[in-house]
Chains A and B, each alone.
Chain A
Amino acid sequence: MTGPADFDLLELATPYALHAVSEDERIAIDRQLAAAPAPVANAFDDEARAVREAMAMVSAATAVEPPERLRAAVLAGIHHGKTRPSRWRTAILAAAAAIVVALAAFGAGIALRPAHTPTMAEQIMAAPDMRTSSTPMAGGTATVMFSRNMNGAVLLMNNVPPPSQGTVYQMWLVGDKGPQSAGTMNAAAITPSTTHTFTSLQNSSVLAFTVEPGDGSPQPTGKIFAKLPLT
Chain B
Amino acid sequence: MTTAVAEPLGYRAMTAPSAGADLDFLLRRVARGDADAFAGFYDQTRARVYGLITRVLRDPGYSEETTQEVYLEVWRTAGAYDATRGSALSWLMTMAHRRAIDRVRSEQSAGQRESRYGAAMVERPGDLVADSAIAADERRRVTACLDSLTDLQRQCIELAYYGGLTYAEVSQRLSANLSTIKSRMRDALRGLRGCLGMS
Is there contact, CB below 8 Å, between B38 and A15?
no
Q: Does A188 interact with chain B (Cβ within 8 Å)?
A: yes
Within 8 A of A (CB), among B100-136: 101, 125, 128-131, 133-134
Is there contact, CB below 8 Å, between B46 and A71?
yes
Is there contact, CB below 8 Å, between A19 and B186?
no
Per-residue contact bits, chain A 65-85, to B (CB 8 Å; 1 contact, 0 not): 111001101110111000010
What total of chain A residues lie within 8 Å of the partner, measured CB to CB?
A: 49
Identify A75's interface contact among B31, B42, B67, B198, CB under 8 A: B42
Is there contact, CB below 8 Å, between A14 and B79?
no
Is there contact, CB below 8 Å, between B131 and A65?
yes
Q: Does B47 interact with chain A (Cβ within 8 Å)?
A: yes
Is there contact, CB below 8 Å, between A74 and B190?
no
Main SS class of interface, B: helix
Interface centre among A21, A50, A74, A94 (most CB of B within 10 A): A74
Q: A18-B160, A20-B160, A52-B93 are in contact. List 7 more A-B contacts (CB 8 A).
A: A11-B186, A19-B98, A56-B93, A57-B19, A58-B142, A60-B134, A63-B139
Can you identify 29 A-B contacts, CB atoms within 8 angstroms? Answer: A11-B186, A49-B90, A50-B198, A53-B198, A54-B193, A55-B93, A55-B97, A56-B89, A56-B92, A57-B14, A57-B196, A57-B198, A58-B142, A58-B146, A59-B48, A60-B138, A60-B142, A61-B125, A61-B142, A61-B146, A62-B48, A62-B128, A64-B51, A67-B60, A70-B46, A74-B72, A75-B35, A90-B76, A192-B190
Residues of B bordering A, CB below 8 Å: 1, 9, 13-14, 18-19, 31-33, 35, 38-39, 42-43, 46-52, 54-55, 60, 63-64, 67-68, 71-72, 75-77, 79-80, 85-87, 89-90, 92-94, 97-98, 101, 125, 128-131, 133-134, 138-139, 142-143, 145-146, 157, 160-162, 165-168, 170, 179, 182-183, 185-186, 189-190, 192-193, 196, 198-199
